[in-house]
Amino acid sequence: MNRDHRGEMERRVDGINRLLRKTGRPVKLMEVCGTHTVAIFRHGIRGLFPEISFLSGPGCPVCVTAKSDIDSSILISREPDVTLMTFGDMMRVPGSLGSLDRARAEGADVKVVYSPLDAVAEAGRRRDRRVVFFATGFETTIPLVAAALEMARSSCLDNFFIYSVHKLVPPALRALLADGRAGLDGFILPGHVSAIIGARPYGFLAEEFHIPAVVTGFEAEEIMEGTLMLLEQIASGSARVEVAYKKVVKDFGNQKALSLIDRYFEPFDAQWRGIGTIPGSGLKLKGEWSGMDAERAFNMSLQPDDCPDDKGCSCGDILRGLKLPVECRLFGSACTPDHPVGACMVSTEGSCAAYYKYGIQAKGRADGK
């Protein structure tokens, strides 16, 4: 770290501590994105500012994928002549019927891909099979899936389908604030999602709920700058949506990507694991593209009530900012990354997995264990 960089970091630390003294009380900030949760741990930011409670939000797409959707994907994978493809972090997410990893072990043709375009290529190579892409993720990955649909159409592939469980971030934040239990003072907003949708869709946070919000990147200095900007708002009693990640995020987002999303998808009331149904928070294929909709082609949609949450798992409360992972009675004992009970422990971006890796293990090293 050069002298100028060190000086900037010291300025931010001093500024945050000064504003915390001015505020005169503990502060609750929610980092919406799972990547931020990991970065805050990795950079040691939690330890620098014990007066700030950094709470994980519902920004891990693996963690919020409903058990009913996991089960539907498993049932689809068991259909004859089907190849189901998805991102690697979805393989071990538990549903009531097991996991996709287990389905593969039992003989289903389930494959991991790095891009939905790989699934389109598979459909082109294997015209004798129905290729289904299990499409998960937030606004960051949705344009890639829309591009895959575009490619499949241009290639006249009638054996390519998607099962869309895409989620939208702004409606989830509205639901959290409408619930009113978390008592948040501000939001650290996700940089990658905001690169697509821009800063404007978050305007309701300040206008309707008077909650400060700042979009930040993922480096230590970017998170610190975002935290400093939030505390300036909190200390002054103001509420705005600001951007501390201007090199990537614009007010109106990426219009080309948004146009591509709008061509293929429309909002619907989606089920979030551990949280419930949030109005307008998911995206499904528009009716004109129903020929590529796996949910319609396979008629495999399960009702949310078919798949209750695991007893004792606090994943829902953790995603709402009502509990820390360590306050779940299963954490670190019945539920570990090797044997996850809840989805928050599966993904590397899950809050429970981050707490397990950087909390328990770090404590063990400090204790000499």
Q: What is the pLDDT of residues 98-127, one digit of tens each?
A: 999 999 999 999 999 999 999 999 999 999
pLDDT mean over 156-180: 96
CB-based contacts of 200, cutoff 8 Å, min separation 6: 251, 252, 253
Say whether pLDDT at 362 is over 60: no
Mention the CATH class of domain 23-315.
alpha beta
The pLDDT assigned to 369 comes to 35
pLDDT interval class at 365 (50, 70, 90): very low
Dihedral, 123, 257, 173, 41 alpha carbons, nearest 10 = 80
Cα distance from N-terminal residue to C-terminal residue, the chain: 31
- Alpha carbon distance 172, 271 (integer Å): 11
Cβ atoms within 10 A of the Cβ of 68, count?
Answer: 21
Give the mean model confidence (pLDDT) for residues 3-22. Answer: 86
Note the pTM of the prediction, 2 decimals.
Answer: 0.91
Q: What is the mean pLDDT of the chain?
A: 91
**In the chain, domain spans:** 23-315, 316-366
How far is Cα 204 from Cα 240, in angstroms, rounded to an integer?
10
Residue 346, exposed/middle/buried by CB under 10 A (0-12, 13-18, 19+)?
buried
